Every structure is written in C-alpha cells, then in structure tokens.
Structure 1
Amino acid sequence: MLPEITWFLRGMVLGCCVFSLITMFGSIRQGHEKQRTHHEHHHLQAPGQELRHLAWEANANLQSSTSVYCMVLVSPQDLLLWAAVKDSWITHCDKAEFFSSEDVKELESVNVNVSEPWLVMKAAYKYAFDHHQEDYNWFFLILPDTFAVIENLKYFLLTKDPAQPFYLGHAIKSGELEYISVNGGILLSREAVRRLNSLLIDPEKCPKRRGLFGSLPGDMQLAFCLKYTGVLAENAEDSKGKDVFNTKSVRLLIQEAMPHHGNKVIEGCCSDMAVTFSGLSPNQMHVMMYGVYRLRAFGHVFKDELLFLPPNGSNSD
C-alpha cells in the first residue's frame, strides 16, 4: 500500500511541476507576442534640437537632399479644389503636377486614361518614375482637399536618406496590414518609388484586380504592393510623438481635443510641426494659407536657423 501512495504522491508533484512550467512559458510567450504587436507599428520622428547648431555648409547639404515632387490626384468635379490648391500651398513644392482620370483642359493635369482610384494612383507613380526618378528625392502623393506645409515636410526629412525605402505618413493598421492613409498624404523616398515601379508591371505581386484585393481602397493596395519589396508603413511624428500627417481638418482636431485637454486645447490638438490637414473646402484652403504663411503676431520672433528657399521661378510666399 505504501509504495502505491509513494508513486501517487510523486505523480502529483511531477504533474504540478509540468503545469507550472507550461504556465510560465505560456506567460512568457504571451508577453513576447504583446511586445511584438506593439512594435509592429513603426514610429518615425522628426529631427531634434541638434540641427540648430550645424554649420552653414552642412545645412545647405541637408536642404539639397529634401527636394519634393508633389502629385495631386484630381477629378473633374474637383475644379474648385484644384484652383485653391494651385493658388496656395503647392507653390512651395520643388515641382508639382496634377493627375486626372479625364482630359479636362481647365485642370491642367496629366490625363492617365483610367478612372478607378487605385489605377490612377499606379499611373501617377509610373509617370513620376519615368519622368522624374533622377530629379527629386521625395515623392509626395496627396488629395486636393488636403493642405500641406512643405517647409515642415522638408524639416521632417532632413535626417532621412532618400536612398533608403521610406513609406511615410499617417499609418493605420487594418488586420495584418499597416498602410499610409492617402487622406493625410503618402510620402515615398526615391528608393521606395524605384521598388514600387519594379512591381507595377508584375500582375502576381501588384495585381490590377484579384478578388478582395480589387475592392480595397487605393492606399491599402499600395501598401500590399510595397510590402512585397520589404517597404513597410511608418507613422510620421514630431519629437514629442504627435502625428504630423493629419487625416482631419484643424477644426475637427480642435473639437476633439477640447473635452480632454481643458485649458491646453491647442497643445493637445496638433503638432507645432504639422505637415498636413485634410478634409478642407476651397475656402478653408485659403484660410489655412493666410494663417500659415501670412498672419504674424507682432513681437514674436521665430529664430529658425534653417531656411527652405522656394524653387526657381516659383511665386510662393
């Protein structure tokens, strides 16, 4: 009887040990998975204070690497928005072109002869690569209801190497896919555009239509294509961790900040170095232009040591 009790107790002890080990390893695995999920979302921040003390020659070299080619996707019904964009922020790009699904003389746009948003986007990137791959380091695709502060964009890019495959903007995670929302603007480096171009003619890796893929928005399809080349979406933030590519207007962002930030609504709303605001009407586009480039508070002096000069022949402010 005694040997049977002894073996029973040994079995109980061994079972408890095995259960403890399984529980411990399971907890480690779960913690690792949580940590991995957290870090799947890439965060890329703007440069810090170190740039304020660079020599003039170093500043000049950095600024020359931030040439930006702006690509605006328009349609015939966007005529008023097109006019507002044309007369406002887009003059600060090194070069800008509009891409349309139709040949509309008033739009002064490149007709890509396709109508589906994803195909228009693909055609715009193909055109940009074929005509400007060696001329500019950064390719900025945007919708006509979005206002962009190009100087802040260039500041954000000062320490980024365009020879590396960057895919930047307002990152959104949908299931296993992380993509950059076109509403806030999509920024690709020269290397990312080169990799994308290598796929545009490959229907297996960057298809025109294939089941569910063909029904996805263009910005999500772009993310699928870039993922084949190892180019992943990265969320652009300032040095304090605030988004700089915004998919909403200033008005909406302030409204959302009011219940949560009390007397510090503006600080809680938006980054001081914001690059884009979206969902604007033509009138709001002009208001933004006035606020960003015209209005000055007397007695307040901003000592920015970096100066981004407008491109030659530009009528920008």
Structure 2
Amino acid sequence: MQVRILCFVITSPINLDKRAIHVKKTWGKRCTTLLFFSSEANTSFPTIGLNTSEGRNHLTAKTMQGFRYVYDQYYGEVDWFMKTDDDTYVIMENLRYFLSSQNTKDPVYFGHHFKPKVKQGYYSGGAGYVLSKEALKRIATTGNNPQFCNQDGYDEDVDLGECMERLGVKTANTTDAMGRSRFHCFELEMHLFGGYPDWYYEYDANGAKQGVNSISEYAISFHYVPQQKMYALEFYVYHLRPYDKDEIARKLSKQIRVLCFVITSPMNLDKRAIHVKKTWGKRCTKLLFFGSETNISFPVIGLNTSEGRNHLTAKTMQGFRYVYDQYYDEADWFMKADDDTYVILENLRYFLSSQDTRDPVYFGHHFIGKEVKQGFNSGGAGYVLSKEALRRLSRTGSNKQFCKQDGGQEDLNVGICMEKLGVKIVNTTDFLGRTRFHCYTLESHLFGNYPQWYYVHDANGAHKGTDSISNYAISFHYVKPQRMYELEFFVYHLNPYGIETGHQNLNQPANVFNMKKYLFSEKVAFKGHV
C-alpha cells in the first residue's frame, strides 16, 4: 500500500543555509512532497512566504497558515500531512510503516504526546506531528475561525492541541507494542541518557523514560539535530550495516575468534574504558584492558611501564607479548584498539573471513611515511594482527635491535617493526574502494575535517563523504562515551522499515571463496542487498 506524505517544514530566512538546506538534502527527499514555510518567499530555495512576522512569537501563525496553504493546494495529492521544525530529523520509512495501519479518513493526529494544558494532551512541535486528511480539513476550514482556534502566538503546539480538541480531532497512542516511543522531542542522546529538563517529567505522557529499551527500533523522529548530525544519521540509518544480523554473523562469531586488547590508563577507566566494555567490547571473543597499573575489579592488566603518550609503544609491545604468552591458541586474530575506538565486530569478522591467519599480515587504516617503506596502520583506528604476525612481533620483535620497545609514536614504531619482521600491510578498502578502518569520527570522514598532515599520510587519498566510507565500516576513532551508545543504538537497534540489512559482497573477488572454510558445516542462504 502506498502511503503518500506531505512534509512541511517551518523555517526562517536566517536558517535556510544553517538548517533547512540540510533537511532538504537528507530526510526531506524521502517525503512525497516537501514544502518549506517562512515569513519571506524565496523562489530559488524555494520557500513559501506566509503573511506573518518572523520569530518564535509567531510560530502559531506560521503553522496555521501553512496548514491552510497545504489544504488549498495539496489536499487531493497525498494521504498524510506532517509539520516539523528545521532541526527535526525524520525516518520516513518508519513513519510510513506506522501510518500504514491508520485510516486517514479518521479525525486523528500523531506525535510525541504531552499531557498537560489540554484535556486529551497535545503533541510536541519539535518532534513533528502528522495529520490525517480529515484532521487537516477541519483545522484548515473550521479551525480558521479565531473563536475556535488561536491564529497566532508563541506556544504553537499547545495552540494546535487546543484547536484539535475543539474540532474533535483525537490524539492517539504512538508507542510501539512494547511501549517504546517513536516520536522524540529531544535528540537521541538525551533519550538514551536522560538529563531531561524538569518540566519534561511533568509533560511526557509516556513517563519520561530513558535508555535503549525505551526507544522503538522503528523510531520516527528526533529533535534538536545539528546540521552535521543529520548527515551522520543518514549514514547510520541508510548506509552503515553490521554484517548480517542472522545466521552468518552468528557462525562467523564462533568461527573467527577475535581477541581485542584495549590500551587505557587509570584515569580513563571510568571515563572511557568502561564504555568500551559495555558496548562493542562485549562482542569480542576475548576482551583485555592494559594499563600501567593492575586493577583486579575492572579488570586491567598492569604492565611494566610508566603512564603517558610517550609510553604507548611500551604498553603496546608488552601487551602483544602478554597476549602471545597467554592467549595465542585461544583466538585467530588479535586487535589492538584505544579506549576511544569504536569497532563493529561483525564487519571485522566478515573482512577477516577472506584472510588467512597463517599469513604474516596486519590490517588497519593505512598511513604512508618516509620512515617505513610499506607504511603503517593508525593506532587510533585499531589494527589487527594474524597469528603469524603476533608470533613474529612477540618473539623476534622483543629484540631491541629489531624493534623499538618504548618512546616515540606507537603506531609508527609498530609499523617499522612489522616491516623488519616481514609482516605485510594489506589493503583494507572494500571492492568499491571505500574505507573500513577510520582514524577519526564519522563526521570528520563525512565532511573532511582533517588536519593538514592527514592529506600527506593517508594512503587512500584522504577522501570524504558517504561514498568514501564502506557500508561495512569496521572502526572509528575519537568516539566519546555517549556517542558509543548512540552507535550501539543505530547499528544494532534502529531499523528503517523495509530496508533490509542483508549484505553486499565487498571483499576482493579472489578472496571471497575463502569464506567457505568458515561456513563449511552448513549451507547459508545469502540475501542480496545492493
């Protein structure tokens, strides 16, 4: 069934380039019809100019006039009508899914439900709200009468709620079958962690809940989304995929054993390391933390080294030797990461499924430099050693004549050591040339916010944008703790309805058949996804 939705966005002349353009370039393009309303007409953008002054005191006028314009011009062309702000982000597939079970002939509207001020409650303006055809007809005709509805004012969503109640337009529950919210008047981070303003606990009709389990996997909207975050959301929702959530991922998890060891420090255990432990780290076959001090309760393995960036090489070299001595036979691959690295283990296992751990190789975000002919892999993005690479690094590499044991730049020192030991760097881009390991945040790689040195040293050309990042990305760096939980939500919980995760064959064609050795015990049907 086709669900046609007109989206109209309230904006202003000063926000066209700051906000509205980013709605237009992201989620807005999935609306059946997209309109922007402002106090001034702009034919090039375009915006529809309304007979109202600018400012928050006139949001009610903008909204009421906008609905009348939509009724006059588009009533017969679509089924549903959504009003949003210019800093709202909407997942249209999930909105259509929700509306597919509703009847647009009913006098109803939907959104993030607030309970005070209006007997039946009203919907948050920032989260966006959606009107049926019957609701639109009533508000654009009878609602045009000032005796029924305020025509201007500051509290647009309250004014509209009072108007709807007088017109017999009903609110309706928009939570999913598990009571989780779909529309959200704040950005995801706040709904995950709480920290709501005091008024929200009184207003929210769903109990002002927080956490992953309070948010529907088919969430529809979030508010207060900055411009760069809109593009990050686009990538998370429509591009980034954990490699097949079903039987293949489970089989790879058992067959491709990855030991992750994370470099941390005493002061960062509660600031950073604990969040690795609670998020992506739990998907490693084995997870270890190394620091300068032992902490039995966390636990952290204490190494014979001082704290500080000047001793990252010592931490890393000693860490690899510890792993070799204690866990060599318990894993197939060995990944070193920082405590602000985020790793999608399913995608790492998929990539490694076409590699041979008996080869002397290591993988990561490839840098080039005059100090080492083959280059080296970024420490922050994380790098992965085969069993043979670990053996060489831990045995011959412990000799000071071959490899530096402390001081300097850790990832460069490891790279120089690897080259001397005959351990090769292998290309980690996907079949489309897109990067898997990333030494910066997603936003940096989307927008190219790179320091000057990066253009000199990045082996893949310092590309930027969605098309430069693999859908099956493995790692990002400089990820703040709260962002780790956001990534968890987007990667493992949120589903844009009707867009399957599936998988693409993005390993090199010559290596694809190597995956069969990990899947020999059972035939698995591959779901196509392009």
TM-score, with structure 1 as normaliser: 0.70
List aligned pairs for 1:40-51, cutoff 5 A.
none
Change (3 A) 1:304 1:273: closer
Unaligned stretches of 5+ residues in structure 2:
1-243, 450-463, 505-514, 519-530
1:145 paired with 2:308, answer no
Shift of 1:86: 0.9
Shift of 1:105: 4.9
Q: Identify the residue that residue 69 of structure 1 maps to in structure 2.
A: 259
Q: Identify the residue that residue 92 of structure 1 maps to in structure 2.
A: 283
Change (3 A) 1:215 1:110: closer
Q: Identify the residue that residue 42 of structure 2 maps to in structure 1.
A: none
Are the equivalent residues in 1 in contact too, given 2:441–2:478 (CA < 8 A)?
yes
Are the equivalent residues in 2 in contact too, given 1:235–1:243 (CA < 8 A)?
no
List aligned pairs for 1:1-317, cutoff 5 A.
65-79=255-269, 80-105=271-296, 107-115=298-306, 116-177=311-372, 178-208=375-405, 215-256=407-448, 267-304=466-503
Shift of 1:206: 1.8
Are the equivalent residues in 1 in contact too, given 2:434–2:467 (CA < 8 A)?
no
Aligned to 2:428, the other structure's residue is in SS state strand
Aligned to 1:184, the other structure's residue is in SS state coil
Q: Quick one: distance in 2 between partners of 1:105 and 1:60? A: 31
Larger Rg: 2
Shift of 1:174: 1.1
Shift of 1:94: 0.8
Q: Quick one: distance in 2 between partners of 1:114 and 1:215? A: 11
Are the equivalent residues in 1 in contact too, given 2:365–2:437 (CA < 8 A)?
yes
Amino acid at match of 2:301: V
Q: Identify the residue that residue 4 of structure 1 maps to in structure 2.
A: none
Shift of 1:290: 0.8
Q: Quick one: distance in 2 between partners of 1:276 and 1:135? A: 23
Tell me which moved more, 77-86 or 93-102. 77-86
Q: Identify the residue that residue 16 of structure 1 maps to in structure 2.
A: none
Q: Quick one: distance in 2 between partners of 1:215 and 1:190? A: 25
Q: Quick one: distance in 1 between partners of 2:385 and 2:415? A: 11
Shift of 1:103: 2.6
Equivalent residue pairs, number: 241
Deviations 1:159-206 (A, max 9, x none): 111011111101111114111111110110011001111224322112
Change (3 A) 1:234 1:176: farther
Are the equivalent residues in 2 in contact too, given 1:63–1:158 (CA < 8 A)?
no
Aligned to 1:237, the other structure's residue is in SS state coil
Change (3 A) 1:227 1:242: same
Q: Quick one: distance in 2 between partners of 1:61 and 1:298? A: 26
Q: Identify the residue that residue 11 of structure 1 maps to in structure 2.
A: none
Shift of 1:107: 3.9
Q: Quick one: distance in 2 between partners of 1:172 and 1:185? A: 13
TM-score, with structure 2 as normaliser: 0.43
Q: Which segments of structure 1 move beyond 3 Å, counting only runs of 4 or more?
A: 58-65, 104-107, 303-306
Shift of 1:267: 3.0
